[in-house]
Amino acid sequence: MYDLLSKTASYVAEASATSESPLVFGGVFASLTGQPQITNVVDAAPLVAARPRVLEIPATEEESEEEFDEDYPEWAKWNCDQIRTKIRNFLGTKEMAQTAFLKLCDINSNSYYRFMNLKGPYSGSENQTYEGAAIFFYRREKTEKEEKAKLKAMAPKDRKRKATEEKEQKTKKRKAGDDLLEKILAVEITDTDKDGDIPVYDDCDEIRKKINFFLGEKTVTKAAFLRALGHVNSNSLRSFMNLKRGAASGAANVVYRTGYVFFEKKRILEGGKKTKKRLENELEQGGHGFPLRHDNGMRWVTVAR
């Protein structure tokens, strides 16, 4: 056996030095042992498989360029409070549903509510809502500027015609809004408590929602709405709208009571039915309605020693 292996090694070395073709070991052993050559023989393959060529897809021109500066992104020009205000105003227009807005901005609903309940110019800067919404409004603002630039580039005659049409539409819409306010204020509410006051059966969050929706329709201006509430100060409205979510968060604010009366008159004028939630509130709150005192949800706890 030793002699056989030695002869095999010598033969392989000699064949490697003289042959250009791959070695077929079946023939080697056949010549040495006298056994018939194995017919099912394949060419020798390399011991290590060759690495497949990497398929490279060239980046497009848009992908190769960053949209924002990494250190000083353009969308960061607004602070957190400003973004919260922008979100409320935008969703109030009903141009886009909240669910669609969050999906477009890639924002988780839990993160969104946490962000909106914060207060302060830097409170929530690490929340995904801040960056997502800021980028949305930056791109929206950029698009509006581009549209204005196109309008400016139009021929003077066409630009003047378009401006006239827009002015006529605004005037017509404003007149319709003034007429609506006049009709709403003319409605009388007879459902009062024993003291002659109108009980409030919508919580603060519901009134904020109604204000956002009403002003978002752009039928009336904010100034006209405040006059309809009884010449309420704009600071009171801003303070009420910027409070954290909560059924009684802002109940002491004059906007809460006057806003409820306004929308109750509007409901009566339009013949709207009371919602299920409204009927439940009437049963739970009784004849006096919701208390008109602020409640931010915080409580004092006395710990006995």
pLDDT tens by residue, 15-40: 444 444 444 444 444 444 455 444 44
- Asked if 265 and 190 touch (Cβ cutoff 8 Å), the reply is no
Average pLDDT of 281-290? 92
pLDDT bucket at 61, cuts 50 / 70 / 90? very low
Instruction: Provide long-range contacts, Cβ within 8 A and 24+ apart, for 100-108.
Output: 101/136, 104/136, 105/129, 105/132, 105/133, 105/135, 105/136, 106/132, 107/132, 107/133
- Out of 66-70, 252-256, 295-299, least confident range: 295-299
Task: Spell out the residues 6+ positions from residue 122 whose beta carbon is closer than 8 angstroms to its own.
Answer: 79, 80
User: Phi first, then psi: what are they for 246, rounded to 5°?
Assistant: 160, 140
Q: Collect all residues with Cβ–Cβ distance below 8 Å to 264 and sequence separation of at least 6.
A: 189, 198
Q: Residue 24: its pLDDT value, please? A: 44
Q: Which two tokens stand for residue 219?
A: 């039928």
pTM score of the predicted model:
0.57
Q: What is the pLDDT of residue 115?
A: 95
pLDDT band at residue 303 using 50, 70 and 90 as cut-offs = low
Q: What is the mean pLDDT of residues 169-178?
A: 86
d(C-alpha 257, C-alpha 240), whole Å: 11
- Check: CB of residue 81 under 8 Å from CB of residue 119: yes
Q: Is the pLDDT of residue 51 over 80?
A: no
What is the spatial distance between Cα 202 and Cα 210, in angstroms, rounded to a whole number? 10
Backbone phi, psi, residue 261, to 5°: -60, -45
Higher per-residue confidence, 170 vs 297: 170
Would you call 5 exposed, middle or buried from its count of C-beta atoms within 10 A (0-12, 13-18, 19+)?
Answer: exposed
Spell out the long-range contacts of 263-267 with Cβ–Cβ below 8 A and sequence spacing 24 or more: 263/202, 263/207, 263/210, 263/214, 264/189, 264/198, 265/184, 265/185, 265/187, 265/189, 266/184, 266/187
Alpha-carbon gap, residue 127 to 107, rounded angstroms: 9
Separation CA 287–CA 264 (nearest Å): 16
What does the buried/exposed string (b/e) look like for 203-239 if buried means 16 or more CB atoms within 10 Å of the residue's CB? bbbbbbebbbebbbeebbeeeebbebbeebeeebbee
What number is the average pLDDT over the span 187-197? Answer: 81
Over residues 86-145, the pLDDT tens digits come to 998 898 877 888 999 999 999 999 999 999 999 899 999 999 999 999 999 999 999 988
How confident is the model at residue 259, as a pLDDT? 97
Is residue 155 predicted with pLDDT exceeding 80?
A: no
Average pLDDT over residues 143-159: 81
Has residue 174 got a pLDDT over 50? yes
Report the distance separating Cα 131 and Cα 125, nearest Å. 8
Q: Which residues contact 207 (CB under 8 A, 6 or more apart)?
A: 255, 256, 259, 260, 263
